[in-house]
Chains A and B, each alone.
Chain A
Amino acid sequence: MTPLFLLSRLKLWRCTRVGQRVEVLGSIYVIGGGHIEIGDDVILDGRLVPIELHAEPGAELIIGHGCVLEGGVSIEAQKRVEIGPGSRLRAFCKLMDNNFHPVLGSRHRRPPSHPVKLEAAVEVGERAIVLPGAWLEKKVTLGPGVVIARRVKAGATVLVPIARSAPAPSEVEPEGAVNKAPVKTRVLRPAARTVVQPPVVAS
Chain B
Amino acid sequence: MRIALLEFIDWLELQAPAFKRAGRALALARSRVAFVGCELGGSVLVHGALQLERRGRVSVGAACVFAGGPLPTAMRVEKGATLEVGARCYFNYGANFEVKESVRMGERCMFGSYVRVSDAPGAPVVFGKDVWVAHGAVINPGVSIGDGAVVSAGSVVNTNVPPGMLAIGNPARMMSQRLCTTGGSHA
Interface residues, chain A, with chain B CB atoms under 8 Å away? 11, 14, 27-33, 49-52, 57, 72, 74, 92, 94, 96, 99, 101-105, 107, 111-112, 114, 127, 129, 131-133, 145, 147, 149, 160, 189-192, 194, 196, 198
- CB contacts (< 8 Å) of B17 on chain A: these are none
| Contact status A191-B159, CB under 8 Å | yes
| Contact status B178-A104, CB under 8 Å | yes
| Contact status B153-A129, CB under 8 Å | yes
Q: Which of B23-31, B73-81, B167-175 contacts A (4 or more CB under 8 A)?
A: B167-175
Total A-B pairs, Cβ < 8 A: 104
- CB contacts (< 8 Å) of B71 on chain A: these are 49-50, 72
A192 to B172 CA separation, bound complex (whole angstroms):
11
Chain B interface mostly helix, strand, loop or mixed? loop
| Contact status A52-B69, CB under 8 Å | yes
- CB contacts (< 8 Å) of A114 on chain B: these are 183
A160 to B10 CA separation, bound complex (whole angstroms):
37
Q: Interface size of B by Cβ–Cβ distance < 8 Å?
A: 39
A28 to B4 CA separation, bound complex (whole angstroms):
8
- 9 closest A-B pairs by CB: A50-B70, A191-B158, A191-B171, A103-B185, A149-B186, A147-B154, A131-B186, A31-B10, A27-B3
A96 to B166 CA separation, bound complex (whole angstroms):
20
In the complex, B43 has a CB within 8 A of chain A: no
B64 CB to nearest chain A CB (Å): 15
B90 CB to nearest chain A CB (Å): 9
| Contact status B136-A189, CB under 8 Å | no
List 10 contacting pairs A-B, 8 Å CB cutoff, sorted by A: A31-B6, A99-B185, A99-B187, A101-B132, A103-B180, A104-B180, A111-B183, A129-B135, A133-B184, A198-B169
- Chain B stretch 1-59: residues in CB contact (< 8 A) with chain A: 3-4, 6-7, 10-11, 14
